[in-house]
Amino acid sequence: MDFTAPKGMRDFLPAEMQKRQWAMGRIGGVYQKFGFLPMETPALETVEVLEKKCGEEIRGQLFRVDDGRLALRFDLTVPLARVSSSSMFKKPFKRYCIAPVWRREEPQKGRLREFYQADADIIGCPSVRAEAELIACASEAIQELGFPAPVVRLNDRRIISAIASRLISGKEGEVLRIFDKREKIGDAACVEMLEGVGVKKEAAKKLLSELTGSSGNESRLKLAEIYSKEAAQDLKEILDLLPEYSKAIKVELDFSLVRGLDYYTGPIFELSLGKEMGSVAGGGRYDGLLSMYGQGDSAVGISLGIERLLALMKEREFEKQGVFVANAKEGFYGSALSVAAAFRKGGISALTDLNCRNLKKQVENAAGSCEWIAIVGEREMKAAKVTLRNLKTGKEELLSIEDAARKIMG
Amino acid sequence: MDFTAPKGMRDFLPAEMQKRQWAMGRIGGVYQKFGFLPMETPALETVEVLEKKCGEEIRGQLFRVDDGRLALRFDLTVPLARVSSSSMFKKPFKRYCIAPVWRREEPQKGRLREFYQADADIIGCPSVRAEAELIACASEAIQELGFPAPVVRLNDRRIISAIASRLISGKEGEVLRIFDKREKIGDAACVEMLEGVGVKKEAAKKLLSELTGSSGNESRLKLAEIYSKEAAQDLKEILDLLPEYSKAIKVELDFSLVRGLDYYTGPIFELSLGKEMGSVAGGGRYDGLLSMYGQGDSAVGISLGIERLLALMKEREFEKQGVFVANAKEGFYGSALSVAAAFRKGGISALTDLNCRNLKKQVENAAGSCEWIAIVGEREMKAAKVTLRNLKTGKEELLSIEDAARKIMG
């Protein structure tokens, strides 16, 4: 019989789990500092609710529950949209959520069937101040995990849609789909595919060089104005606001950014850690989505690729647990428990020997999990003290419990 | 169209979610102080793995996933048993897990289809030191949430099994099932049911008065010895160890405690907050279970009824978010962002006005969510200061950002 986790899913043993808890706690802390509040919804949603957002591909990836009416959520935006329509929030409403989602895909490297997302969204804010806030917040969360400041690629759906419709009318969707593949397939293949849907070769070539020309944000803003005055104005405002959050944020207007065939209606953005590490967060404005769930409203969101960030994070050396309180003789176990209780009262993690081993074995056992050992023996009990030994340096001292606690706390 | 959560499941809006996060963080903190490490497994398990433990009733409550091979976990013990068989841990292995489980029951008051459990388990410890540790740890976790020290009811499966088999042999299971109902149905009905399976009325009456006689732990230990010397010895050891953890722990031997028809093999226990509030945690030794998953080992666990505890917890007044940085004129928004960034750097949660409102509206908005407001206007910008107002007292001062941060931090 097979006792591994189901296909495409993982068990997180303590060392990995400690790292995950640390990272999620950090990210949550940054979201909270920006005033985002936590919200949690069930793992299951009705298929009726899920299907409002999911495309054909994801529909096939739903983990449906026995009677077929329910399925595991495939993202965290659908639950947010549903709740936004069934509850009253003071606007703008800022929520974050770090939680698992499920997709019944063929598992492959870096793609699993259960994985966490870390989303922040702002509901009820028509101003692009919301976009700036989300980009700044995600950028800080990424740095909080020890990464350098990410580079922000910024575009607007109104611009690429205008570009596509000027290029060839009636086939905007197909053009966007080709744009979206550009980075993977290269410019030459992109031109070829554009020709395939009826775009003239010269026009396609000219456009691509125009889109990806490295001419700096100012001249790109001018180009943006040709396609959408409103979008250009919004992008300019985001560019102006971001340095106020942090000078470290680097933004590049990039009109070749598409971000899938998703539901975005305005500015879109991706945060990247350079060519090798790629995109680690992305999002945009999706003003149309909420109206599909009853109550329409402005909405902007960002999703942190937390699994990707965790995979890129160096192994963290987690502090070993505090102190192992050893009993020199079996009869002293009760006293060891009292000493451990005193340490815990002082906020220190304390272990005792559950398995009734001799002192030598206890010390060996402690060395694997603790930085300190406190020995309770005859001499110590008479003096109401413990022998505190640092397991790294081997140095030991006879100390009162209070002094030992102070030493352990550093 | 219905935009509520699926039947028997809940959305946790921010106020409730903050309370939940607070409580789970506290409980996790206590578990960690006792040296328990976090471990997480997928929401889905194969039905084959789940069926090894679940009885007939729970089998019918599984949320099965489309192809029927997988189902959502119904508890946190099955995943632990599975992982214990597929991984090598240094023993004793102490893990905790605070996570949701799913049961397709008919929803009723206090019983939902998705709910959290908070478990701690010790694998590979044959000594009842493990039982004492779990009881002490759970007791502290409950107090950490603001409850008084719970009363511990303690029994041993070997004792009630011996009682049942002495009463009538061959029908121990039925006798246990009747014992388990005693508290709900009362002694008279219990005697009647025992008669129904063939126990003589006099014997049943005598036994019940013997079991529930309020004669104190010492005389109960003597009674225990009649039925199982080993169990009596183990119970005595637990009773001796618990006061070393904390004098606040009150333990009562209670031979009428059955804890369902579960898989327990040794000591069992329940932690209760008094008659009205009832049991809030329970567990016991289940040495037999792990061998069903490949590698047999000693195992003791406790499960905190975290949903019950959350329901009993008073509404917590959560600290309002730190400071709202208002911009007196629209043109000052960028400066407000810089001020907010400085506050965040100091660890303070800071909000700004995303919705481009006038100062009066901003102040009104801030009052609902923050304790402080920092106003950035002409005068303030010239002096590189902010006007910091306490929204409760109405007092305000012109301060440098550093001084304002110090004031907010208290």
How far does the CA of residue A29 sit from the closest CA of chain B (Å)? Answer: 9
Amino acid identity of residue B80, one-letter, is L
Question: Do A38 and B14 form a contact (C-beta atoms < 8 A)?
Answer: yes
Cβ-nearest to A35 among B1, B130, B349: B349
Q: Which of B268, B290, B312 is the last residue of a domain?
A: B312
Cβ within 8 Å, pair B43-A83: no
- Which A residues in the span 247-286 are in contact with B, Cβ-Cβ below 8 Å? none
Q: Which residue of A has its CA nearest to B70?
A: A6
Tell me how close the Cα of A291 comes to any Cα of chain B, in angstroms. 12
**Same domain, residue pair A35 and A128:** yes
Q: What angle do CA B191, B195, B197 make, to 5 degrees?
A: 120
Q: What is the pLDDT of residues B228-249, one digit of tens each?
A: 999 999 999 999 999 999 999 9
Q: Is B7 inside any structural domain?
A: no
Residue A93 lies inside a defined structural domain of this protein: yes
Q: Do B248 and B184 share a structural domain?
A: yes
For residue A169, tell me if it sits in a domain.
no
Residue A273: HSE in the Cβ half-sphere, 13 Å Cα cutoff:
19
Contact flag A33-B347 (C-beta cutoff 8 Å)? yes
- For residue A302, give the CATH number of its domain: 3.30.930.10
Contact A43 B72 (CB under 8 A): yes
A204, part of any domain: no
- Judge whether A226 lies within some domain: no
In a shared domain, residues A23 and A146: yes
Q: What is the residue range of B226's domain? A: 14-312
Across the interface, which of B245, B293, B338 has its CB nearest the CB of A244?
Answer: B338
Closest CB from B38, B68, B245 relative to A21? B38
Amino acid at A17: M
- Strands, DSSP E only, in A53-169? 70-72, 93-102, 114-123, 151-156
Assess whether B238 and B362 both reside in one domain: no
CA distance A297 to chain B (A): 13
Chosen domain end from B312, B332, B347: B312
List of long-range contacts for A353-359, beta carbons under 8 Å, 24+ apart: A353/A324, A353/A326, A353/A327, A353/B129, A354/B92, A354/B122, A354/B125, A354/B127, A354/B129, A354/B130, A354/B133, A355/B91, A355/B92, A355/B124, A355/B125, A355/B126, A355/B127, A355/B129, A356/A330, A356/B127, A356/B129, A359/A326, A359/A327, A359/A328
B28: Cβ contacts below 8 Å, ≥ 6 apart: B38, B96, B98
> Are A301 and A331 contained in the same domain?
no
Total domains present in chain A: 2
Instruction: Give, in order, the Cα–Cα distances in Å from B377 to each of A35, A116, A378, B383.
Output: 22, 42, 69, 10
B231/B333 same-domain check: no
Residue B345 sits at the chain A interface (C-beta within 8 Å):
no
3-state secondary structure of A361: helix
DSSP character at residue A113: S
Length of chain A in residues, anyone?
410
Last residue of a domain, one of B293, B312, B331: B312
Same domain, A133 and A24: yes
Same-domain status, B335 and B297: no
Query: How is B28-89 classified by DSSP, letter by letter?
Result: HHHHHHTT-EE-B--SEEEHHHHHTT--HHHHTT--BBTTSSEEE-S-SHHHHHHHHHHS--
Are residues B362 and B303 located together in one domain of the fold? no
Chain B residues in contact with A237 (beta carbon < 8 A): none
Q: Do the Cβ atoms of B14 and A37 come within 8 Å?
A: yes
H helix intervals, B98-155: 129-144
Helices and strands in chain B: count of H runs, count of E runs = 16, 15
- Nearest CB to A35: which of B87, B321, B347? B321
Q: Give the nearest partner residue to A127 out of B9, B95, B356, using CB atoms.
A: B356
- Our CA-based measurement puts residue B84 at a distance from the nearest CA of chain A, in whole angstroms, of 9
In the stretch 76-95 of chain A, residues with CB closer than 8 A to chain B read: 79, 82-83, 85-87, 90-92, 95
Same domain, yes or no: B208 and B349: no
Kindly state the DSSP code that residue B291 receives in the 8-state scheme.
G
**Is the domain of A293 the same as that of A364?**
no
Task: Say yes or no: B288 and B364 in one domain.
Answer: no
- Other C-beta atoms closer than 10 Å to the C-beta of A343 total 25
Q: What is the ipTM of this complex?
A: 0.93
CATH assignment at residue A358 = 3.40.50.800
In a domain, A164, yes or no: no
All residues at 6 or more sequence positions from B216 whose CB lies less than 8 Å from its CB, including other chains: none
SS3 B408: helix
What Rg, from alpha-carbon coordinates, does chain A have?
28
DSSP secondary structure string, B178-201?
A: HHHHHHHH-HHHHHHHHHHTT--H
The tens place of each residue's pLDDT in chain B, 410 residues long, gives 678 999 999 999 999 999 999 999 999 999 999 999 999 999 999 999 999 988 788 888 999 997 889 999 999 999 999 999 888 888 999 999 999 999 999 888 778 999 999 999 999 999 999 999 999 999 999 999 999 999 999 999 999 999 888 888 888 888 888 888 888 888 899 999 999 998 899 988 888 887 777 679 999 999 999 999 999 999 999 999 999 999 999 999 999 899 986 789 999 999 999 887 889 999 999 999 999 998 889 999 999 999 999 999 876 666 667 999 999 999 999 999 999 999 999 999 999 999 999 999 999 999 888 999 999 999 999 999 999 999 999 999 999 999 999 999 98
CA angle in degrees (0–180, nearest 5) for A242-A246-A251: 45
Q: Which residues of A touch B240 (CB under 8 A)?
A: 334
